[in-house]
Amino acid sequence: MAAVAPLWIRVLIAGLDPVVGRDVAAGALKSEWVLQPVYSEFSALSPSWLVVVMPLLLLAVLGMCIVFGRGRMFAVRRVPAWRSATGGVSGENQYTPFGFANPTRKVLANLLLTRSELTVLERESGGRTGDPHRDAAGTHLGYTTDVVEVVERFLFRPLRLPLLMVVHLAKRLQNGRLDAYLAYMLIALLAVLAVVAGLA
C-alpha cells in the first residue's frame, strides 16, 4: 500500500475536488511520488521511494557483511559442548538443571514465596526391590518445591469479590427495556442541547 500511496492521494483529490477544491487537496503532494503534510513546517515523506530504497539498503548491508566478513557471516562455528563452564568436567560433577537454576531461585525466593519440602518415601529399601542397603544409604527421599502466583494471590483474588459485586449490579441495571434506555438517552441529549442553546 505504501508504494501506491501517491496514487491513492490522486484518487482522493479527484473525489474531493467538488467539495474542497483541487488546490487544497493537492497540497498533500510535493511532487509526483513525494507526500507532504497539508500544513507547513513539517517533514515530507515518500512511501514509494522507501519501498525502493529500503531493500537496496538491506542488500548494501548484506554485501558489506559478506565482503568485510570474508565469509564468516555464513560459517558455522563449532565449539565443544558446554559442561559446567569448565573443560573436563563430567558425570556427577556437572551442574544439574536444578543446581544451575538454584542461584536464581534463591534470589527470587522472597518474590515467588518458594516452598520446599523433603520427605522420606521409603526408609527400608529405598523403594527398590533387592536393594542391599538397609540403612540411611538406602533411604529413598522425595523433594518437592512450589511457588506462589503472587499476582493471582495478592491482586486477582482480593479483587474477585468486589468485581463480582460490580458485575451483579451492572446486570441488574441492564435487565430493563431497550426502549426505556433509548428514551433516557434522548432526554439526556435534549437536556444537553437545551443547556448549550441557553449558554449560547
**Would 81 be classed as within a structural domain?**
no
pLDDT for 93-137, tens place per residue? 677 777 778 888 888 888 888 888 888 776 554 445 555 555 555
Pair (20, 67) in one structural domain: yes
Pair (13, 53) in one structural domain: yes
Residues 6+ apart with CB under 8 A from 184: none
Residues 6+ apart with CB under 8 A from 116: 143, 144, 145, 146
Pair (167, 191) in one structural domain: yes
**Would 88 be classed as within a structural domain?**
no
**Would 125 be classed as within a structural domain?**
yes
Amino acid at position 10, single letter:
R
Length of the chain: 200
Number of other CB atoms surrounding residue 13 within 10 Å: 19
- Integer Cα distance of 51 and 47 in angstroms: 6
The pLDDT score that the predictor gives to residue 127 is: 47
Lowest mean pLDDT segment, chosen from 24-28, 94-98, 161-165, 169-173: 24-28
Pair (12, 63) in one structural domain: yes
Pair (140, 167) in one structural domain: no
**Would 85 be classed as within a structural domain?**
no
What confidence tier does 145 reach under pLDDT thresholds 50, 70, 90? Answer: confident
**Would 133 be classed as within a structural domain?**
yes
Pair (189, 144) in one structural domain: no
The pLDDT score that the predictor gives to residue 16 is: 67
Percent of the chain exceeding pLDDT 90 equals: 10
Give Rg (Cα) of the chain. 36
Pair (172, 194) in one structural domain: yes
- Integer Cα distance of 43 and 34 in angstroms: 11
**What is the greatest pairwise CA distance in the chain?**
100
* Final residue of a structural domain among 133, 148, 163: 148
Cell numbers representing residue 126 in the block: 529405598
- Integer Cα distance of 83 and 81 in angstroms: 6
What integer is the mean pLDDT of 49-66? 87
Pair (37, 66) in one structural domain: yes
Pair (54, 100) in one structural domain: no
Residues 6+ apart with CB under 8 A from 139: 120, 122, 123, 126
- pTM, two decimals, is 0.31
Cell numbers representing residue 92 in the block: 556427577
Q: What is the count of structural domains for the chain?
A: 3
- Integer Cα distance of 127 and 141 in angstroms: 10
Give the residue numbers spanning the domain of 21.
5-73
Pair (11, 69) in one structural domain: yes
